[in-house]
Amino acid sequence: MAEPADSWEDMEPAPQSNQPPPKPAHKFTFNPNAPAFSFNPSAPVFSPTTPSFGSSGPTSFAAQGAAAPVAPPAPAPAATLVAPPAPSSPSPGTDAGDAAASALAELDLGTSDQSASDVGVAPVSGDALVPESGSDNPHAENQHTTADASSSEEAEGTAADPAIDADRGEHSLEEHAQKQYPQTPQELDPRPHMNVVFIGHVDAGKSTIGGQILYLSGMVDERTIQKYEREAKEKNRESWYMAYIMDTNEEERAKGKTVEVGRAHFETAKSRFTILDAPGHKNYVPNMITGASQADVGVLVISARKGEFETGFERGGQTREHAQLAKTLGVSKLLVAVNKMDDLSVEWAKERFDEIEKKMLPFLKACGYNAKKDVQFLPISGLLGVNMKERMGKTPCNWWDGPSLFEALDNVELPLRDPNGPFRMPLIDKFKDMGTVVMGKIESGSVRRGDSLIVMPNKAQVKVVTVYRDNDEVNYAKPGENLRIRLSGVEEEDISSGFVLSSLGKTIPVVLEFDAQLQILELLDHKAIFTAGYKAVLHIHSVVEECEIIELLQEIDPKTKKPKKKKVLFVKSGAVVVVRIQVNEPICVEKFEDFPQLGRFTLRDEGKTVAIGKVVKLPKIAHE
């Protein structure tokens, strides 16, 4: 396997001068057979369905050549979000174990002249292959409606955007909701918010730790815990009762396996957190990817029990693949929680903790983590709650003087976010509740009640009626927040997971193909050659879409980090290559250098992660 490159975030574009392929024939519609979204009122959570993309006007490379309504049901302490399932493949293969590091070679991408197309894009040359900031839309770039303007509009009984609201009756909906459900929006909480994803091998104790966190932070009362203890005892699973807080459906409780991405909230004096409890079984890695793509920090849970660490870390175990995927998906900070230290085979032995740390550190470095700045190991007992909220004393562990899990989370450095940038919120869920309500995490920009936005790729212009953060209605939300937003101007059935709520003036690019740099990890044994025509499943932010490699543009020498002169026809495991990728349906993406969270992705084939990559070049975009 080729020697790992430097850091994933340090990658540079690569030079190439290939004429674009002909524009593919494309016709698409919303999938009428997609299952409708359903909400179980007895569960404290939402269940999204399989994404069904539909839009109009995407381009390809060929184009170049309650005072407000009552809050929708919010995830309570125990909540479960079903991740959109990936398109299935014939047979699952072995999972990626010893994958190459998640860094690619430094490249310098060139450009080539392009011709005008039938979508009305003018001929371009040089570095013009970037989204145009201009638009025929008369709205300003960020489209923020100030609080004063919003109040003035309501007093006059007029809508901010008559073109949008005329046929939708938005103003009457808002008035009705205000009369029926009077309440005052909450003031903005100054505490920072972070999404924390719990990852690791199956049975490492992720759900138990999540449940214990909610109990220790006061989100679950003693009576509920006693109820779960009785239920677990009836199933002869006495040690699973804490996991029942996160695993809410009967299948998960019966089998003791998390299938969906559990979602819940807790707070400390310094911060607010959303727990994302990812499934550990290899069959549910696509769901884990969905959870990790929303995370700011990861907690890699490892079982210290004799034999369990080895099973998860050896070839085919999910400890390796989860750590690799987390780094690829933008989880730059990692806490390694060595769990089950209270087990009789361990009994808080420092030797076992040191052994696990010694074996894990070289692998995490190969994944691209800085061992001193990005990674922290700490011993815990998820079942007993030891070293979680409060630091341990000399009993039961007399050698640990480091922080507790809560302390370590509070001290994680927040990622930099731009509240004044173009608004970008990938949608993970939608449902009806006195209008259309969408769920997602703000990756860039901010949103206020009354803002005019656009849903891409279907170009539905909408107005923000109400904004909900956790259980509270707010007037304003900034980057990094998980929100539910009630919209007017679009129907619930016209939105799918993977769509993006975007600024009107600077809409997110919508494409059918793009150039990307790939790090080939470990190909399937019966598909050991990576060449044009290779098909896989693309995971990028909340999008899950089938794709095809239509051209290999360049191979990069991992040692010199420069393009090879010889034309590339195929590559094998460990290679770094620049390719052109085509998808079946239009998707919203950004260049990695502009919006890393919307420009990094993974490719999976038959249940195995075969490549990781970043978007380096888009076709010239015609938004209108």
Q: Are residues 395 and 536 in the same domain?
A: no
d(CA 220, CA 214): 6
Predicted confidence at residue 246, as pLDDT, reads 79
Q: Pick from 362, 377, 410: which residue ends a domain?
A: 410
Q: Pick from 410, 435, 470: which residue ends a domain?
A: 410
Q: Are residues 548 and 593 in the same domain?
A: yes
| Structural domain contains residue 177 | yes
- How many CA atoms lie less than 13 Å away from 97 in the CB half-sphere? 10
d(CA 19, CA 51): 33
Predicted confidence at residue 72, as pLDDT, reads 53
Residue 198's domain is classified under what CATH number?
A: 3.40.50.300
SS3 240: helix
Q: Are residues 170 and 276 in the same domain?
A: no
Predicted confidence at residue 27, as pLDDT, reads 40
What residues are paired with 611 via a beta bridge? 520, 603
Predicted confidence at residue 254, as pLDDT, reads 61
Q: Pick from 456, 485, 503: which residue ends a domain?
A: 503
d(CA 461, CA 165): 10
Q: Are residues 366 and 278 in the same domain?
A: yes
| Structural domain contains residue 228 | yes
| Structural domain contains residue 91 | no
- Taking each helix axis from N to C end, the angle separating 285-292 and 318-328, rounded to the nearest 10 degrees, works out to 30
d(CA 425, CA 500): 5
| Structural domain contains residue 551 | yes
Q: Are residues 447 and 384 in the same domain?
A: no
Rounded to the nearest integer, the mean pLDDT of the chain is 75
Greater model confidence, 282 or 510: 510
d(CA 156, CA 113): 52
- H/E element, 411: none
Task: Check whether 123 has a pLDDT greater than 60.
Answer: no
Residue type, 68: A
Q: Are residues 220 and 299 in the same domain?
A: yes
The two structure tokens encoding residue 383: 């079942």
Q: Are residues 204 and 342 in the same domain?
A: yes
Residue type, 185: P
Task: Check whether 156 has a pLDDT greater than 50.
Answer: no
**Highest mean pLDDT: which range of 105-109, 168-172, 283-287, 307-311:** 307-311
d(CA 403, CA 391): 6
**Highest mean pLDDT: which range of 213-227, 237-251, 375-389:** 375-389
Q: Are residues 201 and 331 in the same domain?
A: yes
Neighbours of 347 (CB within 10 A): 12
d(CA 50, CA 37): 9
| Cis-peptide into 75, omega within 30 deg | no
Q: Are residues 390 and 498 in the same domain?
A: no
Task: Check whether 394 has a pLDDT greater than 50.
Answer: yes
State pTM to two decimals: 0.67
Q: Are residues 460 and 484 in the same domain?
A: yes
Contacts of 259 (CB under 8 A, 6+ apart): 249, 251, 252, 279, 281, 284, 287
Q: Are residues 197 and 183 in the same domain?
A: no
Contacts of 546 (CB under 8 A, 6+ apart): 87, 535, 536, 537, 538, 583, 584
Residue 9's domain is classified under what CATH number?
A: 2.40.30.10
- CA quadruple 379, 381, 382, 387: dihedral positive or negative? negative
Query: Which domain, by its residues, includes 396?
Result: 193-410
SS3 180: helix
Q: What is the pLDDT of residues 357-390, one digit of tens each?
A: 999 999 999 888 999 999 999 999 999 999 999 9
**Strand arrangement of the beta sheet that strand 272-277 belongs to:** 80-81, 261-267, 272-277, 193-199, 297-303, 333-339, 375-379
Predicted confidence at residue 258, as pLDDT, reads 64
| Residue count (the chain) | 624
Arithmetic mean of pLDDT, 435-446:
93
CA angle 300, 211, 229 (to 5 degrees): 135
Q: Provide the domain count of the chain.
A: 3
Task: Check whether 517 has a pLDDT greater than 90.
Answer: yes
* Percent of all residues in the chain with a pLDDT value above 70, rounded to a whole number: 67
β-bridge pairing 424-432 and 436-441? antiparallel
Q: Are residues 171 and 288 in the same domain?
A: no
- How many CA atoms lie less than 13 Å away from 72 in the CB half-sphere? 26
- H/E element, 353: helix 350-366
Contacts of 370 (CB under 8 A, 6+ apart): none
